[in-house]
Structure 1
Amino acid sequence: MGRTLPTFTERADALFHEWRPFRRALRREDQEVFDTLLSDVRRHAQAGTVLSPLDPWPILILSMLIEERKARLSLLQQVERLEKERISDGRLS
């Protein structure tokens, strides 16, 4: 017996398709960022499928936020590492 409701991935893909005109209207560099955000959502599709919400928006936004947070934490760790290296090399400012 088939599913009666579309999966999270199907809903997300339908939204991505609806957003095509919006993407085309963006500047090239913004299109690349937009594509990255959509990739972030796809990276978390399995989690969205487990929940399979009627409204996919919260999962879309949380997926993007998770990836943005990971990137921010990575940058903070790099800054801390560089600061420690600078201090240990005696390059205080």
Structure 2
Amino acid sequence: MGRTNPTFRDVLSRMEDEWSDFRRALRRRHRPLFDRLFTYAREHADAASHLNHPDQLAPVLVSIDLEQEDRIDELEERVETLEGRLEDIPGDAETPAEREG
């Protein structure tokens, strides 16, 4: 017997096709960002295929959220590292934000 539901990768491919007019209408600088969202969703296709959720957009959005949370965590770590380096610089201990305020 055949599969009753399309694979999640098939669903994603169909969604990308359905959103192609929207993508084309975006400003050129936003198109790579839009494409990245689908890349994020593909990163979690295996997990999403196990879900078999009735709302096919739900696992796409959660996948995007997970990837963006990961990026936020990475950026927060980088900011902490850079702030730590600034604190280690001898001399003016005042940060630019403290000087402004």
TM-score (norm 1): 0.92
Structure with max Cα Rg? 2
Work out the CA distance in 2 between the residues paired with 1:23 and 1:52: 26
Work out the CA distance in 2 between the residues paired with 1:86 and 1:24: 43
- Runs of 4+ in structure 1 over 3 Å off: none
TM-score (norm 2): 0.85
State the Cα deviation string for residues 29-69 of structure 1 (Å, max 9, x = none): 11110000110001110011111222211111111111111
Task: Mark the runs of 5 or more structure 2 residues left unpaired by the alignment.
Answer: 95-101
Decide which moves more: 10-19 or 39-48.
10-19
RMSD, matched Cα: 1.1
1:85 — aligned with what?
Answer: 85
1:70 — aligned with what?
Answer: 70
2:14 — aligned with what?
Answer: 14
SS in 2 for 1:73: helix
Task: Mark the runs of 5 or more structure 1 residues left unpaired by the alignment.
Answer: none
Q: How many residues align?
A: 93
Residues 11 and 56, structure 2, Cα contact 8 Å, conserved in 1: yes
Give the residue type in structure 1 aligned to 2:48.
Answer: G
